[in-house]
């Protein structure tokens, strides 16, 4: 009943092609955005902004980037964090070295820098695929982090490559409170998520999916492999680069190259798998899940263990966290390879029929 | 020149250690088509289990046997609860599942045995061999040499096992074509169990050797990251490739670490150590551009 589509007629091609073809989806989306932009700043505390909401949005953007590459184009990458690092350091350097450059421009330029680097490391994908490519992207991971540590120019001669980001000012307004940063991140992420959703339905997106499903067949029907794969790498790295810039400027404020470790890459990969490979929604769900899970374990495990009289230390909790992450990945791959996004689809199906089960 | 040879020999010997880990990858890939990212975690788990049992007062040989038992159990559990349910999924899904497995083991091992760094004593001294030192003035550690000997012996045994025994033949048949192997009566599940047990054994040997060199600690999981470029270079499905790849990577990374930073320093100024971390990857990557299937890998033909 809630999702009844009967009576929603599409009378023009434009209506048929819109991003959210179902009225309920459009209403829900508007309500959600209104709540995120207007409601959340009223209720949320400082802790919620800086410890949960901002990182959630940034990681969602990064996993959206990886999802474009892995979920839509089928090229597995283990170097996501490295592309984020490129974005963070590029934005820092643009702010530092170009006089009076607006911060949003330097974010965009950071994205383009990351895209260029991404294309460079995507070149091997033309000849290799699958596991070989995954290993090749590890080269990006280690090489980029090493470069950022060893070339002092990139971090303005700071020791061991630590950078402290500049203050954010847009049109003379300072964005220094958590709420203001949240709104800035939210705006950027919303726009980029919409762009990704649109891109996935365009010629480019369809070409990506064709390459993902069977690259040889895609080539046979006339899709240029080189162009398709490299655009996927470019767009994906662009997203990761912007996410990295936001990560440095709006979340941490001060980052070091080693912070963009392989571990971070894996965490973003987990977000994509758990959220749902090849969906925009999945990137958000996965990011929320992976971010909230440790907080949940932290708050529940220790008290439960103490209540049961078990000798639990903080180290044990972190080991259990690692185990739970690993087990969840295997669980999702076995039971629900399409991730949390699929659960939402199932819910929608049920709501269509509700309250009658058949 | 003498310094060069010393570096070269040191690199080759550590390359043998990389080969040992790479071998674990190759075995599982050859017999089941799964690229097991958890191999490094298995090395860590094996070494930690041995040390853990020794800590409980078990003598070394018995501890090794018990650890082998644990590795077999781990392999069987992986096959039973993860791989069997993922049959028919794309290889990339299986690969990601083994990343999950790696995380699981990396949490499990220190939870069972604690996470502090512990030494392991195999009774081989890590000192230069006097004969080589006097004769050629080259420092070669006795430990490295013995470790390479063990690795070489293991490789020889595995090669014979794969080529000459009935089980070895069955393994190769399964790797070629699951369906065909099943239809001529090869028990697929038992074969996979054997493969994981053998890979567990290789991980155990690697864990003992690496662990007695650097101490048993979490860093052992990074051995997997050392072995990946070796695999790429040698080809995923070739035992010989793992050996040759390991030697090339080991030698070239040592030489690069010694000879590249001064060159870069002259060019850019500053300190450029730590090339070892990425050099093997970039080398492997460049190699892939020329020969995508690796040195000894099988050429793959795609059909629509």
Which of residues B158 and A130 earns the better pLDDT score? B158
User: Are the C-beta atoms of residues B13 and B250 closer than 8 Å to each other?
Assistant: yes
Angle at B301 between CA B295 and CA B304, to 5 degrees: 155
Inter-chain contact B107–A76, Cβ cutoff 8 Å?
no
For residue B231, the chain A residues in CB contact (below 8 A) are: 135
Range of lowest pLDDT (A176-190, B20-34, B268-282) = B268-282
Residue A31: count other Cβ atoms within 10 Å of its Cβ. Answer: 11
For residue A328, the chain B residues in CB contact (below 8 A) are: 100
Across the A/B interface, how many CB contacts are shorter than 8 Å? 132
H or E segment and range at residue A163: strand A163-164
- In sequence order, the β-bridge partners of residue A254 are A164
Å between B295 CA and nearest CA of chain A: 13
Strand A169-170 to strand A173-174: parallel, antiparallel, or no bridges (unpaired)? antiparallel
pLDDT value for B126: 65
pLDDT digits (tens, 9 = 90+) for A151-210: 878 877 777 778 888 877 778 777 778 888 888 999 999 999 999 988 888 889 999 999
B105 exposed, middle or buried (CB, 10 Å; 0-12, 13-18, 19+)?
buried
Does the pLDDT at position A81 exceed 90? yes
Å between A114 CA and nearest CA of chain B: 19
pLDDT band, very low/low/confident/very high, at A134 (cuts 50, 70, 90): confident
Q: Provide the percentage of residues in chain A whose pLDDT is more than 70.
A: 98
User: Are the C-beta atoms of residues A353 and A293 closer than 8 Å to each other?
Assistant: no
pLDDT digits (tens, 9 = 90+) for B50-81: 888 888 888 888 988 998 999 888 888 888 88
For residue A130, the chain B residues in CB contact (below 8 A) are: 91-92
Residue A74 region by backbone torsions, left for phi larger than 0, else alpha for psi between -120 and 50, else beta: left
Does the pLDDT at position B138 exceed 70? no
**Does any CB of chain B come closer than 8 Å to the CB of residue A334?**
yes
pLDDT value for B302: 60
pLDDT value for A181: 86
For A157, the token pair is 């001669």
Question: What sign for the dihedral angle of Cα B63, B66, B71, B77?
Answer: negative
pLDDT band, very low/low/confident/very high, at A268 (cuts 50, 70, 90): very high
pLDDT value for A299: 82
CA dist., res. A196 & res. A191, Å (int): 9
**Does any CB of chain A come closer than 8 Å to the CB of residue B284?**
yes
pLDDT digits (tens, 9 = 90+) for B211-226: 887 777 787 788 788 8
Q: Which of A121, A330, A336 to mutate against chain B (most B CBs within 10 Å)? A: A330
User: Are the C-beta atoms of residues B159 and B14 closer than 8 Å to each other?
Assistant: no
Which of residues B302 and B81 earns the better pLDDT score? B81
User: Are the C-beta atoms of residues A324 and B98 closer than 8 Å to each other?
Assistant: no
Local structure of B177: helix, strand or coil: coil
Inter-chain contact A134–B95, Cβ cutoff 8 Å?
yes
pLDDT value for B298: 67
pLDDT value for A7: 74
Inter-chain contact A327–B271, Cβ cutoff 8 Å?
no
CA dist., res. A356 & res. B257, Å (int): 70
Is B179 among the domain residues? Answer: yes
Give the list of residues 6+ apart from residue A232 with CB closer than 8 angstroms, or none. Answer: A68, A69, A72, A73, A75, A122, A208, A211
For residue B225, the chain A residues in CB contact (below 8 A) are: 138, 262
Is B143 among the domain residues? Answer: yes
Range of lowest pLDDT (A1-15, A187-201, A240-254, B259-273) = B259-273
For residue B111, the chain A residues in CB contact (below 8 A) are: 316, 319-320, 323
Inter-chain contact B274–A152, Cβ cutoff 8 Å?
no
CA dist., res. B13 & res. B143, Å (int): 10
H or E segment and range at residue A174: strand A173-174
Q: Which of A132, A276, A317 to mutate against chain B (most B CBs within 10 Å)? A: A132
For residue A136, the chain B residues in CB contact (below 8 A) are: 232, 281, 284-285, 288
**Does any CB of chain A come closer than 8 Å to the CB of residue B265?**
no
Q: Provide the percentage of residues in chain B whose pLDDT is more than 70.
A: 88
Range of lowest pLDDT (A277-286, A345-354, B264-273) = B264-273
CA dist., res. B30 & res. B241, Å (int): 12
CA dist., res. A40 & res. A148, Å (int): 37
Does the pLDDT at position B124 exceed 70? no
**Does any CB of chain B come closer than 8 Å to the CB of residue A216?**
yes
Is B233 among the domain residues? Answer: no
Interface of B with A in 115-144 (CB under 8 A): 115
CA dist., res. A176 & res. A170, Å (int): 11
Does the pLDDT at position A38 exceed 90? no
Inter-chain contact B96–A146, Cβ cutoff 8 Å?
no
B78-85, Cβ contacts within 8 angstroms, sequence gap of 24 or more: B78/B38, B78/B196, B79/B189, B79/B192, B79/B193, B79/B196, B82/A330, B82/A334, B83/B32, B83/B34, B83/B192, B84/B189, B85/A334
Average pLDDT of A274-303? 86
B79 exposed, middle or buried (CB, 10 Å; 0-12, 13-18, 19+)?
buried
Average pLDDT of B26-42? 83
Instruction: Name the nearest CA neighbour of A65 among A295, A265, A209.
Output: A265
Residue A170 phi/psi, 5° resolution? -125, 120
pLDDT digits (tens, 9 = 90+) for A233-266: 999 999 999 999 999 988 888 888 888 988 899 9
User: Are the C-beta atoms of residues B11 and B249 closer than 8 Å to each other?
Assistant: no
Does the pLDDT at position B134 exceed 70? no
Interface of B with A in 209-238 (CB under 8 A): 225, 228-229, 231-232, 236
Does the pLDDT at position B304 exceed 60? no
For residue B26, the chain A residues in CB contact (below 8 A) are: none
For A80, the token pair is 């996501």
Domain that holds residue B131: 19-225
Local structure of A117: helix, strand or coil: helix
Our CA dihedral for A182, A183, A186, A191, rounded to 10 degrees, sits at -150
Does the pLDDT at position B243 exceed 90? no
Inter-chain contact A326–B303, Cβ cutoff 8 Å?
no
- Intra-chain end-to-end CA distance of chain B, in Å: 54
Which of residues B257 and B303 earns the better pLDDT score? B257
Question: What sign for the dihedral angle of Cα B34, B40, B42, B43?
Answer: positive
Instruction: Name the nearest CA neighbour of B28 among B102, B92, B95.
Output: B95
For residue B274, the chain A residues in CB contact (below 8 A) are: 146, 149-150
pLDDT value for A114: 94
Does the pLDDT at position B270 exceed 70? no
Our CA dihedral for A51, A57, A58, A64, rounded to 10 degrees, sits at 150
Instruction: Name the nearest CA neighbour of B272 among B251, B258, B253, B286.
Output: B258
**Does any CB of chain A come closer than 8 Å to the CB of residue B154?**
no
For A16, the token pair is 């048929």
For residue A316, the chain B residue with the least C-alpha distance is: B111
pLDDT value for B240: 79
Going from the C-alpha of B274 to that of each of A283, B27, B279, the distances in angstroms are 35, 30, 9
For A266, the token pair is 């894996």
pLDDT value for B262: 73
CA dist., res. B144 & res. A176, Å (int): 56
pLDDT value for B241: 81
pLDDT band, very low/low/confident/very high, at B235 (cuts 50, 70, 90): confident
For residue B78, the chain A residue with the least C-alpha distance is: A330
For residue B104, the chain A residue with the least C-alpha distance is: A323
CA dist., res. A87 & res. A247, Å (int): 9
User: Are the C-beta atoms of residues B80 and B243 closer than 8 Å to each other?
Assistant: no
Which of residues A162 and B123 earns the better pLDDT score? A162
Range of lowest pLDDT (A96-110, A318-332, B26-40) = B26-40
Does the pLDDT at position B3 exceed 80? no
């Amino acid at each position: 009943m809630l999702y009844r589509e009967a009576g929603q007629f599409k009378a023009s091609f434009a209506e048929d092609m819109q991003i959210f073809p179902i009225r309920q989806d459009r209403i829900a989306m508007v309500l959600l955005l209104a709540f995120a932009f207007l409601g959340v700043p009223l209720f949320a505390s400082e802790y919620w902004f800086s410890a949960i909401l901002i990182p959630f949005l940034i990681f969602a953007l990064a996993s959206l980037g990886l999802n474009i590459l892995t979920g839509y184009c089928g090229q597995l990458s283990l170097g996501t964090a490295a592309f984020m690092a490129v974005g963070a350091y590029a934005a820092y350097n643009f702010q530092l070295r170009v006089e009076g450059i607006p911060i949003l421009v330097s974010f965009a330029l950071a994205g383009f820098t990351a895209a260029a680097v991404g294309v460079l490391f995507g070149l091997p994908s033309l000849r290799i695929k699958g596991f070989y490519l995954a290993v090749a992207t590890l080269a990006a991971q280690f090489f980029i982090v090493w470069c950022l540590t060893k070339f002092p120019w990139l971090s303005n001669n700071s020791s061991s490559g630590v950078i402290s980001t500049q203050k954010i000012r847009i049109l003379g307004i300072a964005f220094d409170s958590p709420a203001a940063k949240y709104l800035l991140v939210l705006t950027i992420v919303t726009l980029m998520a919409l762009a990704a959703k649109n891109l996935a339905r365009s010629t480019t997106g369809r070409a990506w999916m064709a390459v993902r499903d069977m690259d040889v067949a895609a080539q046979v029907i006339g899709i240029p492999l080189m162009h398709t794969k490299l655009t996927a790498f470019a767009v994906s790295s662009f997203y990761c680069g912007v996410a990295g810039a936001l990560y440095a400027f709006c979340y941490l404020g001060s980052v070091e190259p080693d912070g963009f470790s392989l571990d971070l890459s894996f965490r973003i990969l987990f977000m994509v798998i758990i959220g749902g490979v090849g969906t925009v929604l999945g990137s958000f769900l996965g990011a929320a899940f992976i971010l909230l899970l440790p907080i949940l374990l932290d708050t529940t495990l220790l008290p439960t263990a103490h209540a049961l009289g078990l000798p639990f230390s903080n180290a044990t909790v972190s080991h259990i966290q690692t185990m739970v992450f690993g087990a969840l990945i295997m669980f999702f791959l076995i039971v629900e390879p399409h991730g949390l996004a699929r659960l939402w689809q199932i819910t929608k199906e049920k709501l269509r029929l509700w309250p009658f089960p058949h | 020149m003498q310094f060069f040879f010393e570096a070269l020999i040191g690199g080759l010997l550590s390359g043998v250690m990389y080969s040992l880990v790479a071998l674990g990858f190759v075995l599982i890939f050859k017999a089941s088509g799964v690229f097991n990212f958890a191999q490094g975690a298995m090395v860590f788990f094996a070494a930690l289990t041995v040390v853990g049992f020794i800590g409980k007062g078990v003598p070394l040989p018995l501890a090794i046997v018990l650890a082998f038992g644990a590795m077999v159990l781990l392999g069987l559990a992986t096959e039973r609860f993860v791989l069997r349910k993922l049959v028919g999924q794309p290889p990339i899904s299986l690969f990601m599942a083994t990343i999950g497995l790696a995380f699981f083991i990396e949490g499990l091992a220190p939870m069972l045995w604690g996470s502090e760094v512990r030494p392991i004593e195999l009774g081989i001294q890590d000192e230069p061999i006097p004969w080589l030192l006097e004769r050629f003035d080259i420092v070669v550690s006795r430990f490295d040499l013995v470790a390479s000997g063990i690795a070489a012996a293991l490789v020889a045994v595995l090669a014979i096992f794969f080529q000459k025994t009935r089980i070895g033949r069955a393994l190769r048949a399964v790797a070629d074509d699951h369906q065909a192997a099943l239809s001529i009566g090869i028990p697929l599940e038992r074969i996979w169990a054997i493969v994981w047990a053998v890979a567990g054994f290789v991980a155990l040997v690697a864990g003992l050797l690496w662990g007695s060199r650097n101490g048993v600690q979490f860093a052992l999981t990074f051995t997997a990251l050392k072995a990946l470029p070796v695999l790429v270079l040698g080809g995923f499905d070739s035992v010989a490739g793992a050996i040759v790849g390991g030697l090339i990577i080991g030698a070239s990374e040592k030489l690069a670490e010694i000879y590249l930073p001064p060159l870069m320093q002259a060019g850019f100024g500053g300190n450029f150590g730590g090339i070892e971390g990425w050099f093997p990857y970039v080398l492997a990557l460049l190699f892939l551009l020329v020969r995508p299937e690796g040195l000894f890998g099988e050429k793959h033909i795609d059909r629509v």
